[in-house]
Chain A
C-alpha cells in the first residue's frame, strides 16, 4: 500500500487564488458591510502576490467576487493600460477564468484606484475601490479606539471643524480627494482618494460599491440606492474640480475629469482621465460606432 492509493488524486479545491475559507470570510464581511452601509468591518487581510499599498484590499474582493462568468475591468487613475491595472486584470483572469475588458459597459466587476468611470454603472455591476486609509477620522483622532467610539456615537464634530477651519484660513474647503461623505445619514466614510468630481456618482447609484483596505484590514460598502452626502455647510455649496471647460487634446472630449500634462515652457495640455472613454471618442472621430454609454456628467454638469 502506498501513499498514492490512500489519497485522492490532486484536484484544485478552489479557484481565484484565495482558498475557500478566505473567500467565505470576505463574503461574510462584504454582507455585513452592505448591511450597515459605510460602517468599517475588520477582516483578516490575506497575502496576495502583490505588495501592501498596491491594491491588495481591492484585489482580495475582486478575487472573491470573480468567477468564470465574470468580466473584469481594472483601472488605475482612470487608465486601463497602466502596469498595475494590467497586471491585476491579467492575474484575476488567469486564476479565476474571468474575461477581461477595457469597456466600462461590458464589465461585471470594476476594480479601481482613484477614479469612478464616467459612464453610468448598472444594477448588475460591482465597483471595487482600493482604499489606502479607510478611517476618515484619522487626521482628527489618532487613537483608533477613540475613533471607533466616535463612529458609534456619530460624533463627527471634529471632522466638520476641520472643514470650518479650512474656510476660515483659506476662504474655501481645501479637501481635494478623499472628501468625507455621510452614508445613509449615519456613518461618515472616506470614499478612497477619488476626486471630489466622483463623489456624487456614489449617491443613489444603481451599482454596489465595495471599498477595501488591504493594509488596514477594513472593508466597507455603499449599497445600491443609498444616500451618500459629502459634508458641506448649508451656505457653502459642494464644489467639484473645475474641469468642465477643459478639452481633451487627443479625443476632443470636454466636460469630463481631465489629467493635466505639464508641457515644456510652463504650459499644460489635458487628456481625459477615463482612458477608455477617450478611446471610444477617438473611434467616433474615425467614423466608427462609438458605443459611449450614458455618462454621469453632461457638458461638465452633474446630471444623473
Chain B
C-alpha cells in the first residue's frame, strides 16, 4: 500500500525533520453540509522546511490552509504551533482576540487573490505597517524602516513603496502581500496558490524571491498549489490530497520520481 510505503520512507528522517515539528495538526475533520471537506487529516511541518500540498480543486487543500491560518474551525481536530514563550495548547480553543493576535504575530499568509490579503486603497508600505501596528509598534520611524526592509526583502521596488496596490501589477501585489506576511518574521508562512494567475516569467521571478527568502531566513512554509511545477521547485516535502484525505506524502523527489498511489501516478504523468 502506498501509505505504508511513504511511512517507510519517513522512517529514516531527513535532516530537516530531525527537530520537533513547528506545526502539528491531528485528526482534522470538517464537513460543509453534506460535503466532507477534510477527513481526519494529520499534518506535521518541521522547522525550516517547505511543505507542498497538491491536489485537485475540492480536495480540501485550501480548507486545510484556512484552518492553519485560524480563519475557520474544524468539527474535530487538534492544532498546535511550537512558539517561543507560549503555552502548548490547541489553538482552536483560543478566543477571537488571542487568535487574531497570534495570526498577526506568528503566521504570515499570501493569498492567490491579493484583494483578500491587502487593503487596496492604502499605500503598499502602509499595508506592511498595518501588520506591525496591530502587533503594537507605535514609532513612526521604526514602522517606516521595517516596512522598507520587508518590501526590499520581497524585492519590491522601493521607489513605489507608497503606491496603492490597486495601481500595481499582479506580481507586485503578490510581493506586497509577501512583505506584509514576513514583516514580523513569522514562525509559519502560508502560501495559497501564490503564483497562480501570474504569467510564467513573473511567476518565475516571484518563485525566485520565495526561494531566496527560504534560503536566507529558513522560514517554515506551507505551499498550496495545483501546479506541480511550482511544488517541485519549492517544496522539500509533498503531501498529496484527494477528497479531503491525504493519499500520499513524502520527500518531493521521491513522490515525483516514484509515485505510489494511483492518483499521484496519474497526477505526475499528466504533468510530464
Chain A contact residues, CB within 8 Å of chain B = 152-155, 157-158, 160-161, 164-165, 167-169, 233-236
CB contact between B143 and one of A152, A154, A158, A164 (< 8 Å): that residue: A164
Cβ-defined partner of A165 (8 Å) among B96, B97, B100, B123: B123
- Main secondary structure, interface of B, reads helix
Say whether A234 contacts B143, CB under 8 Å.
no
Interface 1/0 per residue, B133-155 and A, CB below 8 Å:
11000111111100000000000
- Least CB distance, B91 to chain A, in whole angstroms: 17
- Which residues of chain B come closer than 8 Å to A169, judged between CB atoms? 162
Which residue from chain B places its CB closest to the CB of A169 in the assembled complex?
A: B162
Chain B residues closer than 8 Å to A165, beta-carbon distance: 122-123, 126
Q: Give Cα A157–Cα B138 distance, bound, in whole angstroms.
A: 11
Could you tell me how many residues of chain B have their Cβ less than 8 Å away from some Cβ of chain A? Answer: 21
Q: Is the CB of B100 within 8 A of A164?
A: no
A-contact 0/1 string along B101-139, CB 8 Å cutoff: 000000000000000000100110110011101100011
> B139, A235: Cβ atoms under 8 Å?
yes
Q: How far is A161 from B97 in the complex, measured between Cα atoms in Å?
A: 20
Which residue of chain A lies nearest to B135 when distances are taken between CB atoms in the complex?
A: A157
Determine whether the beta carbon of B129 is less than 8 Å from that of A161.
Answer: yes
Contact between B138 and A161 (Cβ–Cβ < 8 Å)? no
- Please state if B126 and A164 are interface contacts (CB–CB under 8 Å): yes
The contact sample of 15 A-B pairs, CB cut-off 8 A, is A152-B96, A153-B96, A153-B100, A154-B97, A155-B134, A157-B134, A164-B143, A165-B122, A165-B123, A169-B162, A234-B138, A235-B139, A235-B140, A235-B142, A236-B140
CA distance A155 to B130 in the complex (A): 11
A153 to B100, CA, bound (A): 8
Beta-carbon contact of B125 and A157 below 8 Å: no
CB of B187 to closest CB in A, whole Å: 20
Q: Which of A152, A158, A167 contacts B140 (CB 8 A)?
A: A167
Chain A residue nearest to B131 in the complex (CB): A157
A121 to B263, CA, bound (A): 77
C-alpha gap A168/B122 in the complex (Å):
11
- Among A153, A154, A161, A233, chain B packs the most CB atoms within 10 A around the CB of A161
Query: Which residue, of B130, B133, B144, has the highest number of chain A Cβ atoms within 10 A?
Result: B133
Closest to A162 in B: B122
Report whether B139 and A161 are in contact in the complex, using a CB–CB cutoff of 8 Å. no
Expressed in whole angstroms, the Cα–Cα distance for A167 and B125 within the complex equals 12
Q: How long is the Cα–Cα vector from A234 to B143 in the complex, in angstroms?
A: 11
Q: How far is the CB of B48 from chain A (nearest CB, A)?
A: 30
Q: How far is the CA of A152 from the CA of B100 in the complex (A)?
A: 12
Residues of chain A lying within 8 A (CB to CB) of residue B100 = 153, 155
Q: Which of A152, A158, A236 contacts B130 (CB 8 A)?
A: A158
In the assembled complex, which residues on chain A have CB atoms less than 8 Å from the CB atom of B138? Answer: 233-234
CB-contact partner of B119 in A152, A158, A167, A234, under 8 A:
A158
A153 with B139: in contact, given A158-B119, A161-B119, A161-B130 (CB under 8 Å)?
no
Contacting pair B130 A157 (CB below 8 A): yes
Query: B140 to A164, Cβ gap below 8 A?
Result: yes
Contact A233 B130 (CB under 8 A): no
The CA-CA distance from A157 to B119 in the complex, in Å, is 12
B126:A168 contact, CB within 8 angstroms: yes
Q: When chains A and B are docked, how far (Å) is the Cα of A161 from the Cα of B125? A: 10
Query: Least Cβ distance of A184 to chain B in Å?
Result: 17
Which of A152, A164, A234, A236 is the one whose CB lies under 8 Å from B133?
Answer: A164
What is the CB-to-nearest-CB distance from B162 to chain A, in angstroms, rounded to a whole number? Answer: 6
**B141 proximity list for chain A (CB < 8 A):** 235
A234 pairs with B139, CB closer than 8 A: yes
A168's partner among B96, B125, B130, B133 (CB-CB below 8 A) is B125
B133-A161 in contact (CB<8A) = yes
Closest to B99 in A: A153
| A-chain residues with CB within 8 Å of residue B142 when the two chains form the complex | 235
Q: Which residue of A lies closest to B141 (CB)?
A: A235
A158 to B118, CA, bound (A): 12
| Complex Cα–Cα for A158 and B127 (A) | 9
CB-CB under 8 A from B134, the residues of chain A are 155, 157
Closest CB in chain B relative to A235 CB, distance in Å = 5
In the complex, A234 Cα to B138 Cα: how many Å? 6
Q: Which chain A residue shows the least CB distance to B147?
A: A164
Cα A164 to Cα B147 in complex, Å, equals 12
6 more CB-based (< 8 A) A-B contacts, given A167-B140, A235-B140:
A152-B96, A157-B131, A158-B130, A161-B126, A233-B143, A236-B140
Contact between chains at A233 and B162 (CB < 8 Å): no
Cα A165 to Cα B147 in complex, Å, equals: 13
Give the Cβ gap from B192 to chain A, nearest Cβ, in Å: 22
- A234 to B100 Cα, complex, angstroms: 24
In the bound complex, CA of A4 to CA of B48 (Å) = 90
For the complex of A and B, the 10 pairs showing the least CB-CB separation, nearest first, are A233-B140, A157-B134, A160-B133, A234-B139, A157-B133, A161-B130, A234-B138, A157-B130, A235-B139, A165-B126
Taking CB as reference atom, which chain B residue is nearest A167? Answer: B140
Q: Kindly state the separation between the CA atoms of A169 and B133 in the bound complex, as whole angstroms.
A: 18
> Pick the contact of B139 from A157, A158, A233 — CB < 8 Å?
A233
For A160, the chain B residues whose CB sits under 8 A away are 130, 133
- The smallest beta-carbon distance between B128 and chain A, in angstroms, is 10
Least distance between B179 CB and chain A CB atoms (Å): 15
Contacts A161-B130, A233-B139, A236-B140 known; A153 to B123 CB distance under 8 Å?
no
Shortest beta-carbon distance, B58 to chain A, in Å?
A: 29
